[in-house]
A = this chain, B = another copy of it.
Amino acid sequence: MPITPTALLDSLNYRYATKVFDPTRKINAETLLALKTCLTLTPSSFGLQPWKFIVVDSPEIREKLKSASWGQPQVTDASHLVVLTTRTNLTQKDIDKWITRLSEVQETPLENLAGYAGMISSFTSNMSEVEKQAWNTRQVYIALGQLMTAAAVIGVDTCPLEGISPNDYDEILGLKGSGYATAVACALGYRSTEDKYADAKKARFPSSDLIAHI
């Protein structure tokens, strides 16, 4: 059952980049599973899913990540921290792996997917490795958007974290040489009653500056 536009906007207006999480409130198992499923359900170009999502529970690792995040307390105090990583390349092997998976799940013969596979190869053939990673990273930001919006509608607070050292994250998480690299992180949990930012008026440019109708 869809929710009403008003209920959606209530959730989005309630959402804010939470600065102080309540360290005693944990996301329960059902809700956490839904958020993880939500990450995996994110749409991506051609369905390629050029990402891995790392849910960091370990307090020790979160302490280290905090040092690589300008000391932002959300990294350790939020219920959970998700590091969204991006595939650093996109090879024919990646494409083949995806087409094979698609064929299995949709019970479609591989030969029926040859045209689709060719389209992906052709779309990506002129991209440099750097461009491929940039393209993949944009897909990861769809996942970030979906995650924050989904969390908002189920009443979970988030804080997107771009002010991190991706290189240090990669070291700490053992991603070097893995084919994946840190793109961005997101803290998930519940706002503290002491977060003064929770009541700050939401600031946006006037919608007439942001939306055009033609």
A residues neighboring B (CB under 8 Å): 1-13, 15, 17, 30-31, 33-43, 45, 47, 49, 51-58, 61, 98, 101-102, 105-107, 123, 134, 137-139, 141-150, 153-155, 160, 162-163, 173, 200-205, 207, 209-214
Q: How many copies does the complex hold?
A: 2
Query: Is there an interface contact between A148 and B43, defined as CB atoms closer than 8 Å?
Result: yes
Q: A153-B2, A153-B153 are in contact. Are A53 and B145 (CB under 8 A)?
A: no
Residues on the B chain within 8 Å of A138, using CB: 137-138, 141
Q: Find the B residue at minimum CB distance from A145.
A: B145
Q: A3-B153, A12-B41, A154-B5 are in contact. Are A49 and B204 (CB under 8 A)?
A: yes
Query: Is there an interface contact between A2 and B142, defined as CB atoms closer than 8 Å?
Result: no
Residues on the B chain within 8 Å of A148, using CB: 43, 142, 145-146
**3 closest cross-chain pairs (CB), A and B:** A145-B145, A2-B155, A5-B34
